[in-house]
Amino acid sequence: MKAVLIKAFGGPENLHIGNWEKPSPKPQELLIKVHATALNRADTMQRKGQYPPPPGDSPILGLEIAGEVVALGTEVTNWKIGDKICGLIGGGGYAEYAVIPAAQALPIPENLTYEEAAGIPEVFLTAFQAINWIGKLKKEERILIHAGASGVGTAAIQIAKAIGAEIFVTASKGKHETCLNLGAAKAIDYKKDNFQEQVLAFTDGKGVDMIIDFIAAPYFQQNINSLNFDGRMVMLALMGGFKLGELNMLPILFKRIKIQGSTLRARTLDYKAKLTKDLYDFAWHRFETGEFKPIIDSVYDWTEVAEAHRYMEANKNIGKIILKIV
């Protein structure tokens, strides 16, 4: 089969389409003819040699797919050939064929295309895990979502809105409209304004009950200062750096703050299967009615994969960047 391969770790110019062995499904897996995959920051890090795939997973880039079932593992009973599915995989999405554990496959809602469906799994599973499982956000609570126009951010806004929370985001100014249209009450231009001051001003000095953070070190102090009593912060990335200089830890103690980091890729199959099932129950009827939608920034033909990586690394996207696989 054809797949996107890496000539040498480094820049996007190292990506090219070449030949690779077609995978075959294990007893509890499906073989999928991939029609679309989506970019994730993890792909850009793996391309540079900074994020090796977990043992046993495909070394080919691509953590999510949308496509058609073309073969079933011997123990699979709940899917059939021809079913249209999307889902999270450990690697191997930038290819004509990929395998997925049957318990991680989700039916593509009838109103969505392959390109749209490929933009759901990683960001909705991540946002759902952070908001519903870890942060346990409740109706009428307040949440601050950093990088509000990112793939994960746009999914998080929709989930928090469905729960009935009040939503604040940080994002580049040109991305505010999308966040507000999705349900954010306020968007903060973090390049111009101090987000801690803005959050405290919007909340009468109380702060927010939950934060989803991707920026880490440069935001850490302001984040804990922006949290309310019993506030929860879920850390999903370290995009701004991971070493702290000075830190005043007092707010963690006296506001009883909980901080949890998480990654999705290294979780067990059982964990991912349970998360997939819970996301399905919470979100699938919402996709079918149009209440939830994957926010698609752009669709590239997979021959333009290097350009798609450059675009993501320039922080230009609002929502997901999709690769169409022919």
Ligand X SMILES: NC(=O)c1ccc[n+]([C@@H]2O[C@H](COP(=O)([O-])OP(=O)(O)OC[C@H]3O[C@@H](n4cnc5c(N)ncnc54)[C@H](OP(=O)(O)O)[C@@H]3O)[C@@H](O)[C@H]2O)c1
DSSP code for 223: H
Member of 24, 111, 194, 263 binding ligand X (CB under 6 A): 263
Member of 37, 40, 228, 298 binding ligand X (CB under 6 A): 40
Site track 209-238 with ligand X (rule: CB under 6 A), x = hit: -----xx--------------------xx-
On whether the CB atoms of residues 189 and 173 are closer than 8 A, the answer is yes
Q: Which residue, 98 or 321, has its beta carbon nearer to ligand X? A: 321
Q: Which residue, 137 or 152, has its beta carbon nearer to ligand X? A: 152
CB of 119 to ligand X, least distance (A): 10
Within 104-123, the residues that bind ligand X by CB under 6 A are 122-123
Member of 161, 175, 232, 293 binding ligand X (CB under 6 A): 175
Q: How far apart are alpha carbons 30 and 79 in whole angstroms? A: 8
Binding residues for ligand X, total number by CB under 6 A: 27
- Give the tokens for residue 300: 């590239």
On whether the CB atoms of residues 15 and 6 are closer than 8 A, the answer is yes
Member of 222, 225, 262, 303 binding ligand X (CB under 6 A): 262
CB of 205 to ligand X, least distance (A): 26
How far apart, in Å, are the Cα atoms of 199 and each of 64, 178, 203, 211?
A: 34, 19, 6, 11
Residue at token pair 């939608």: 293
- 166-171 and 186-189: which strand pairing? parallel
Q: Which residue, 25 or 294, has its beta carbon nearer to ligand X? A: 294
- Give the tokens for residue 106: 């989700």
Member of 37, 46, 126, 226 binding ligand X (CB under 6 A): 126
Q: How far apart are alpha carbons 291 and 286 in whole angstroms? A: 5
End-to-end alpha carbon distance in the chain: 12
On whether the CB atoms of residues 44 and 72 are closer than 8 A, the answer is no
Listed ranges 36-44, 64-72, 247-255, 275-283: which one lies at the site for ligand X (CB under 6 A): 36-44
Q: Which residue, 41 or 310, has its beta carbon nearer to ligand X? A: 41
Residue nearest to ligand X (CB): 150
- 84-88 and 97-101: which strand pairing? unpaired
Query: Cα 207 to the chain's mean position, in Å?
Result: 25
Site residues, ligand X (CB under 6 A) = 40-42, 122-123, 126, 147, 149-153, 171-172, 175, 214-215, 236-237, 239-240, 262-264, 312, 315, 317
